[in-house]
Structure 1
Amino acid sequence: MDGSVPADTQEAEGDVADWRTVPDPKQAGWIFSQELLHKNKDLKSLFLSVDVRHDPSEQDRALVAFYKRNKVQWASPLYCKLQGDVATGSGVDRHMMSTVIFKLMSGFHLSFGGAAVTRLFEGEPDHLVPSGSDELLSSGMFSAAGRMMGHSFLHHGPSFPGLSPAVIHVLFGGSLETAPVTVRDCPDLDVRDAVTMLDGEGEIEESVHQLCLSWNLPAPNARNRKRLSDRLLRRAVIEQTWSQTNQLRRGLQETGVWPLLTLRRDVIPVLFPRESDAQVTPQVILDCIIWPSSLTVFFERYEEYEESGTEDVCRVSGYLKTFIENASAAELKSLIKFWIGWELPAREMKVEIVEASFPSALTCFEKLRLPRHHRAYATFHQDLCACIAHHSSGFGRS
């Protein structure tokens, strides 16, 4: 979900759409969130503050501490602050929600079990499962993760992509026996190898016998190997993460989004999209861009506009189009985050050609400012890459 208003929700006064009946699930989620936030608009605001001058571990501890608080009305008004940064407004909120989901996907700089980076979910894309760490479970990290996901959804932030369909099935009340588990859902390579061997017709190695014995399962033989394969897989993927999934559910419920997800199950894929569906493509970005007027250039230093020939504007705009068309997926995400504060394109993203030394952005206004002086694509590419590579330190403001 992005922070813009879906066109179909911009109803005439007195003709407000109902999230229960509106056909489009994204629209239903947007309407539900707006109603819930409006209902709680007079509650005391939640204050989320991170000091960008601190090292990553301290910043991550601040995020986790915020979401590990209990008895919080998560649909209260939200005020985000980046200490050590002059940015204010909705751009900071977008940046914070984007950071929270990014950390859920990539890991927090927190020391659990001696690891430099702690990942709450493990496995391959579109088959992520909760970590089996008892330390993460006992510390309530999965409740915090559920709050992060629901909170971002409420504030039209990024969704959490790539969660295993089997975990989603159990998360929303499906039985363990009917969970659509596949071998790709199992992050444990030893279990994967054992399951693959049991599914085949070849000789069963001693390591598989030892694994079954350690899990109090019967010894494999020609008659039970297929059934044993399924039991191993379900235990590794579902049973060993059952408590983590329950914590995740409680965290989601606390944010207030559960009525929407139970009554509109078609919204669940909006909250937990496939990672492949969540990827940003060049055409998606290009379709969102509002290109600059060919006759106006903004002089940042003097905050004045003057008319200019079309040559500079067309040339630099063309450089940006070329960059987008040839950028990697990682570069596209960095560009969008530099531009508007998170990795998902907004419905309208503005471009200005300016008299300046380097690219900059006004994230609150979803506006990218590009210097007019570039005469070669190579130097434009170099400057833009340098700027978007450092979006996390200030997320690209002028």
Structure 2
Amino acid sequence: MRKTIILTLTSLLLLTGCGVQAKKTTQSTKSTKQATITNVKPTTEKIVQGATQTWTFSKRVGSQKTTKGVSEQLTISPTTRSDAQINWTTGQGQISGNTVVYNQVSFKTWSRKTRQSVTKEGQDDLHFMSVTQINQTLKKLGANFKIGSLNDLIYLETKTKTMVLPEAVIAKDDHLYTINIEYITTDHTQTLERGEVFNSTATQQKTTQVPLTQLNGTWTAAGTTASANDSGKVLVKDGYLYQQRYDSYERSAIQSLASESAATLRKSAMFTDQQSSAAKAGYQLTGKSVASGDSIGYLYLFVNNQKLVRIGEGIATDYQKTSDQVSEKELPQQSITIFKQMDAKYPGEVASTITTKADAPIVGMSASINYLTDVTAGQITENKSVTN
């Protein structure tokens, strides 16, 4: 009887053991499935080789670092106004960050050049993020994939080959991620930026390439409370956008960006800033857009020949064309004539404002009124009387 019991217990243990083993195998299989690595590098390369698109800042994560390394506790970092100016552009085989175009290099080349940039005494303090640490960063940024190797990332250096970037790039679907790969341990606690995620503007509302001749007229923002600084209307006449503020008329050029080269737009801080602002409001500002700006910093983006959107601080205000005409009361022909006369009288300068309250109108002259491509646009270099 005892032997029978022992055999029975042994059988139960064997059966239980098999059950446990089977359960472990199932869990192991499930765990492996959950940790499946996505080979996302070909996806990134396809995006880089594809059509040009811009990626605008979404969020950043960081953690603490000490002499012992980096903390596993990642947190979302506070955003600042300057974050809106950070953007990346991919396409046609190129990657550029804030208008600077970079070369792609292998991880081997990147790591060698990174170590060469650090003094001999500092080599022991220089470290590279592990695959696990990078995956932690990607997860915190909202990525739905993991990498399996440091070679899965895209590494960058300047065109002059004199400096490599500390962060690597990876992209999937509508998101581009920049991951900080290197860090230096210190003898005191510091905050370390671990990575950032950027959103593609390809999903933003697109605009059409509207002929300037179709834009003449009065554009009104319904529901706007008129004030001395904002009448709720913009007036378009022969390629210029006019607004009345207090006792002055302000003029800015409407720019058909298709006439500008892609290189010029990439290098224009004004264009990239407004591109980020448009993206945050849900619109695309591209090399085919027709748009204007003003002295306050607003972007005026023509969606089509009947709709205009004004964008500032990520907020969009819709304007509809309410008339194909500009009334004499809202923009006197005399003021338009003065603008033209001053342009002709002072070559190399352009009239940007007219103050009509004085006995003789005073005209503010500027070097440019191309607010999307010229950082000096609208800056008054001198005031002139129309009688001069």
TM over 0.5: no
Q: TM-score, normalised by structure 1?
A: 0.30
Q: Which has the higher contact order (CA 8 A, sep 6+)?
A: 1
TM-score (norm 2): 0.31
Rg bigger for which structure?
A: 2
